[in-house]
A and B are shown apart, each in its own frame.
Chain A
Amino acid sequence: MKDKQDTRVVVGMSGGVDSSVAALLLKEQGYDVVGIFMKNWDDTDENGVCTATEDYDDVVRVCNQLDIPYFAVNFEKQYWDKVFTYFLDEYQAGRTPNPDVMCNKEIKFKAFLEHALSLGADYLATGHYAQVRENNGKYEMLRAVDDNKDQTYFLNQLTGDVLEKVMFPLGHMTKQEVREMAKEHDLVTAAKKDSTGICFIGERNFKEFISEYLPAQPGLMKTLDGVEKGRHEGLMYYTIGQRQGLGIGGSGEPWFVVGKNLDENVLYVGQGFHNDKLYSDALIASDVNWINHTPPQSFSCTAKFRYRQPDSDVTVTRMEDGNIHVAFHEAQRAITPGQAVVFYDGDVCLGGGTIDEVIKDENHLDYVG
């Protein structure tokens, strides 16, 4: 094991408080810390100022406060090819993609990791809320101590080989502690607002953004019994279980999206939050990744179907085609194709996959038909 001062850690710095504190912690621990800003998306704000320039400026100021070198690297092309293209394809297929999962898999912990290693780094660190633990020569990923901030859901496509070279300095801290530490050290990003939503869309209107890239095809809204309930603006704007933006008036319980038919360009709607059609008892997932070792052919564990959701008990069965069947011990509401399903054994994240099909009573639901 090298001395800390001879151990180079590249910190992926976004200009936010989390990665700032990650760099601060590593610096305090005595590592040879190098801050690197990643530019993945070219965008300007309403004043014509490049948003990345503003964030990079914060990286520069924090790194100067910490007295560590800082650089930038451009992955716009890789991001476009690997993340944004996937993002558009998924929407076009009527699904709800998770670009953060893809960005972690293809950019941050692949292209960026390779870049860090090419700079002589021993480790790559990020401000993610997750933990790495060595267990008999294997590198496992554990949930963050701050349950509310735990980001293992987005990191489910990482592997043990990658985790061996990764540090998550914030894994044992709460967000509040991170903020307080930033404030104590007077970091310029201490009070900076957390970024929200999908990184390349930022604060903008999602519909406006996506309509720049994909043509919207308005069509009919119907109940599953075929009663017309008005028009939709394009299937890609709607997610299973969504209530907002349907514009269906009248009496009774509110209306929700309960399905899509891509061929006929029809959006199915139904009444009531607990509408029967929103509930399912199993799913099929593809692009399955097991962080360390492939589990038994069938096993029980807990799972998350979306970020920040409490875990649910499931039984996972590996199928011959490499996909998995995930049976829920209790019916689940609004399982969304395109999102990730992530598995846990206690605090250990086992891996995850992409939700492809949703099943109820052994019938496939027309969530995306």
Chain B
Amino acid sequence: MERIYLDHAATTPMDPRVVEAMNPIMTNVFGNPSSVHAFGRKARQYLDGARRTMAKSIQADEKEIVFTSGGTEADNLAMIGTAFANRDKGNHIITTVQEHHAALHTAEYLEQQGFDVTYLSVDETGSVNVDELKEALTEETILVSVMYVNNETGVIQPIESIGHVLKDHQAYFHTDAVQAFGLMDIDVKKAGIDLLTASSHKINGPKGIAFLYGASHIKMNALQFGGEQERKRRPGTENVAGVVGFQAAVELAMELKAEKKQMYENFKEQFMKRLSHNGVTYDVNGVLDHTVASIVNISFPGTNVESLLTNFDLEGIAASSGSACTAGSVEPSHVLAAMYGENDERTTNSIRFSFGSFNTEENVMEAANRVAKIVKRLTE
């Protein structure tokens, strides 16, 4: 049985060209970029080159890029690092109820540390409302953190409008762009973004590497202490091979962005068409036209996530849900609960399918057939 991967929003396979770029580094470039000798300088060269690529990909300056171990660390650094560094300017933070837990739980931590946090709501479209943000803003607000694309529904958030609202406000604007980076055109200067999180393993790069863009004017504390790496904002010897792999992935993504976008959109459309063709009843969560090319979140009335995902896996289909299933406890998706209400059955019968480089039109069709068979069996 051919296994078909439809979970690219969770992670992606590495592109062979990424592996190829990393191999010589792992084989030959072992120096510590901070060392004052030829071995160190060699490594530093690669690091600097990669940093330029990252900066260019979002129209930033290379001094504004901080490499981290992953998106979670970047979100933590952005939020905690700026909240404490700017407390003299105010004590208020705004985020949304539908953030990834890396941001949401960080906001909750800051709340425990005495910050006032406002959580913007999200409506059935899957999007936050800019007017609600305007109302929530006070003179005390020092940070606004809104994700670029929701990782469960794929709904694109009104980032440029938010940037516009915050243009003349002291609050920094952070966006977790992990699901947008590589598929959408991002211009941090134009969009008024002060802090942005991007991750390597979501775009066919290696795991264990990500970056935080922090505009040159922002004040941000480090969360860990040690050497002078990353302009003291993120001490610790750099993961040079990871950085180079990430660079290769970014270069590929920038080159193939338009092509991939079109391809994934086609996969998504064909997938849903095939479900309908097979007589499956389903609803798309959020407004489909406002979703990123790679993600669609589908509710199958009369089913439950636990049973669906188990059956999918046994039939070779890898997908996921926003519901956290640990040890048999299904926590309904906090995103869908925010959109449709705690007790709406969508929170427990919805599956996220996310397309990517693993897919071909053939295996997407085959996946849709298998999904249809299972859903029909479970609902008959």
* A interface list, Cβ under 8 A from B: 34, 36-39, 42, 50, 52-53, 55-57, 69, 71-74, 76, 115, 118-120
Contact in complex: B328, A74 (CB < 8 Å) = yes
Interface pair A52/B307, CB less than 8 Å apart: no
CB distance from B300 to the nearest CB of A (A): 14
Residues in A with CB closer than 8 Å to B377 are: 118
How many whole Å from A187's CB to the nearest CB in chain B?
Answer: 19
B327 near A72: Cβ-Cβ < 8 Å: yes
- Let me know if A74 and B307 touch, CB within 8 A: no
B327 / chain A contacts, CB cutoff of 8 Å? 37, 39, 50, 52-53, 55-57, 72
Residues B328 and A39 in contact, CB atoms below 8 Å apart = yes
Instruction: Judge if B306 is at the interface, Cβ distance under 8 Å.
Output: yes
**Chain A hits for B313, CB < 8 A:** 69, 71
A73 in contact with B328 (CB, 8 Å)? yes
Please encode chain B, from 279 to 315, with 1 for each CB lying within 8 Å of some chain A CB and 0 for all others: 0000000000000000000000000001101110110
Which of chain B's residues 171-211 have a Cβ closer than 8 Å to chain A? none
Q: Out of B309, B329, B378, which one reaches A42, CB within 8 Å?
A: B329
Given A37-B328, A73-B307, A119-B314, 17 extra CB contacts under 8 A: A34-B314, A39-B327, A50-B329, A52-B328, A52-B329, A55-B327, A56-B326, A71-B313, A72-B325, A72-B327, A73-B306, A74-B328, A74-B330, A115-B307, A118-B378, A120-B311, A120-B314
The residue that A74 contacts in the complex, of B306, B309, B311, B314, with Cβ under 8 A, is B306
A34 to B313, CA, bound (A): 11
Complex Cα distance A42/B377, Å?
30
Q: What CA separation (Å) do A118 and B329 show in the bound complex?
A: 19
Closest A residue to B378 using CB positions: A118
Alpha-carbon distance A42/B310, docked complex (angstroms)? 21
Q: Which residues of B contact A53 (CB under 8 A)?
A: 326-327
Nearest CB in chain B: distance from A73 CB, A: 6
The count of chain B contact residues (Cβ–Cβ below 8 Å) is: 15
Chain B: which residue is nearest A75 at the CB level?
A: B328
A-B contact pairs, 17 of them (CB 8 A): A34-B314, A39-B329, A50-B327, A52-B328, A53-B327, A55-B327, A57-B327, A71-B306, A71-B310, A71-B313, A72-B325, A72-B326, A74-B328, A76-B329, A118-B307, A118-B311, A119-B314
Cα distance A74–B378 when bound, in Å?
17
CA–CA, A262 to B271, complex, Å?
65
Residues of A within 8 A of B314 (CB): 34, 69, 119-120
Q: Are A72 and B307 in contact (CB under 8 A)?
A: no
State the 6 A-B residue pairs at the shortest beta-carbon distance, nearest first: A39-B328, A56-B327, A72-B328, A53-B327, A71-B310, A52-B327
Most buried by A among B307, B326, B327, B329: B327
Of all chain B residues, which has the CB nearest A51?
Answer: B327
Q: How far is the CB of B28 from chain A (nearest CB, A)?
A: 35
Give, as a whole number of angstroms, the nearest-CB distance from A195 to chain B: 16
Q: How many Å lie between the Cα of A112 and that of B68 in the bound state? A: 44
Which residues of B are found within 8 Å of A119, using beta-carbon distances? 310-311, 314
Distance between A328 CB and nearest chain B CB, rounded to angstroms: 43
Residue of A nearest to B326 (CB): A53
Closest to B309 in A: A71
| Chain A residue with the shortest CB-CB distance to B327 | A56
Give B306's nearest chain A residue, CB to CB.
A73
A72 touches B306 (CB 8 A): yes
Closest to B330 in A: A74
Q: Using an 8 Å CB-CB cutoff, how does the interface string of B69-95 with A read, 1 for contact, 0 for none?
A: 000000000000000000000000000
Which of A38, A39, A42, A55 has the most chain B CB atoms inside 10 A of its CB? A39
Q: Which B residues are CB-close (under 8 A) to A36? A: 310
Chain B residues positioned under 8 Å from A115 (CB to CB): 307
A52 to B326, CA, bound (A): 9
- With both beta carbons as reference points, the residue of chain B lying nearest to A38 in the complex is identified as B328
Residues of B within 8 A of A52 (CB): 327-329
**Residue among B307, B328, B330 making CB contact with A56, cutoff 8 Å:** B328
Q: How far is the CB of A27 from the nearest CB of chain B, in Å?
A: 16
Task: Tell me, in angstroms, the Cα distance from A209 to B116 when the chains sit together.
Answer: 39
A225–B326 Cα distance when bound, in Å, is: 57
In chain B, positions 231-252 with a C-beta closer than 8 Å to chain A are: none
B37 vs chain A, min Cβ distance (A): 44
Q: Which of A55, A57, A71, A74 contacts B329 (CB 8 A)?
A: A74
Near A by CB (< 8 A), chain B positions 350-380 give 377-378
Closest residue of chain A to B313 (Cβ to Cβ) is A69
List of A residues within 8 angstroms of B310 by Cβ? 36, 71, 73, 119
Q: Which of A38, A74, A76, A115 neighbours the largest number of chain B CB atoms within 10 Å of its CB?
A: A74
CA distance A151 to B378 in the complex (A): 33
Report the Cα distance A120→B177, complex, angstroms. Answer: 40
Query: What is the bound-complex CA distance between A66 and B94, given in angstroms?
Result: 47
Residues of B within 8 A of A37 (CB): 327-328
Q: Contacts of B325 on A, CB cut-off 8 Å? A: 72
The answer for the CA separation of A174 and B124 in the assembled complex, in Å, is: 58
Determine the residue in chain B with the shortest Cβ distance to A34: B314
**How distant is the Cα of A174 from the Cα of B209 in the complex, in angstroms?**
51
Most buried by A among B307, B325, B328, B329: B328
Q: How far is the CA of A74 from the CA of B313 in the complex (A)?
A: 18
> Which interface residue of B309, B314, B325 has the most chain A CB atoms within 10 A?
B314
Chain B residues near A55: list those with CB within 8 A.
327
Give Cα A72 to B310, complex, Å.
9
Q: How far is the CB of B373 from chain A (nearest CB, A)?
A: 11
Looking across the interface, which residue of chain B has its beta carbon closest to that of A120? Answer: B314
- Distance between Cα atoms of A55 and B327 in the complex (Å): 8
Report the bound CA distance from A239 to B331 in whole Å. Answer: 39
- A-facing residues in B308-324 (Cβ within 8 Å): 309-311, 313-314
Chain A residues near B330 (CB-CB < 8 A): 74
| Minimum distance in angstroms from A110 CB to a CB of chain B | 16
- State A56–B330 Cα separation when bound (angstroms): 14
Residues of chain A lying within 8 A (CB to CB) of residue B326: 53, 56, 72
CB distance from A16 to the nearest CB of B (A): 15
Tell me the bound Cα distance from A137 to B137 in angstroms: 75
Minimum distance in angstroms from A24 CB to a CB of chain B: 20
Q: How far is the CA of A76 from the CA of B311 in the complex (A)?
A: 21
Nearest-CB residue, chain B, relative to A15: B327
Nearest-Cβ distance from residue A44 to partner chain B, whole angstroms: 12
Chain B residue contacts of A50, Cβ below 8 A: 327, 329
The interface residues of chain B lying within 8 Å CB-to-CB of A42 are 329
